[in-house]
């Protein structure tokens, strides 16, 4: 079994979109529906009173989906971890459409699972396997 984690940063976003809970709900819905992810419960949201930024966390049967928005910096950070591989998703396109992102950087990390019996004590237990998917600018 192999998992994958996506770390997404979007810049040049419309601040009002980053303060809009319905926009972020739509983003989470598009991600979970398109990638056929299964929600375990209700997504938890918190809106910060000073900036209006929002943090959201959705527990998935496959792991989790999280977002943090920073309207004051016109940016958004998103993390999606899946314990099984999923197809690539066009984060740049969706973030441009939903929050007006002018640039999006997507990094992915393959998360291979190796049974403990197959590793020796002399081998490192973790390694950075970052595989940049590139940046998209719109």
For the stretch 48-65, pLDDT in tens is 999 999 999 999 999 999
pLDDT in tens, 107-117: 998 877 766 66
pLDDT at 131 over 70: no
pLDDT confidence tier of residue 129, bands split at 50, 70 and 90: very low
Give me the residues paired with residue 60 across strands. 39, 63
pLDDT confidence of residue 111: 78
Whether residue 95 contacts residue 101, with contact meaning beta carbons closer than 8 Å, is answered with: yes
For 58, the token pair is: 């959705």
| Alpha carbon distance 132, 119 (integer Å) | 26
pLDDT at 85 over 90: no
Mean per-residue pLDDT over the chain, rounded: 86
What's the whole-model pTM score? 0.80
What's the DSSP call for residue 117?
G
pLDDT at 76 over 90: yes
pLDDT at 128 over 80: no
């Amino acid at each position: 079994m192999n998992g994958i984690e996506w770390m997404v940063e979007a810049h040049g976003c419309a601040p009002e979109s980053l303060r809009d809970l319905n926009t972020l709900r739509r983003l989470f819905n598009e991600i979970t529906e398109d990638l056929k992810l299964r929600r375990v419960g209700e997504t938890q949201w918190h809106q910060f009173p000073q900036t209006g930024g929002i943090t959201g966390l959705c527990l998935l049967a496959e792991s989790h989906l999280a977002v943090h928005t920073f309207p004051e910096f016109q940016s958004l950070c998103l993390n999606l971890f899946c314990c099984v591989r999923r197809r690539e998703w066009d984060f740049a396109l969706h973030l441009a459409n939903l929050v007006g992102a002018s640039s999006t950087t997507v990094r992915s990390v393959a998360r291979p699972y190796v049974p403990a019996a197959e590793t020796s004590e002399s081998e490192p237990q973790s390694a950075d396997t970052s595989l940049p998917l590139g940046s998209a600018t719109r």
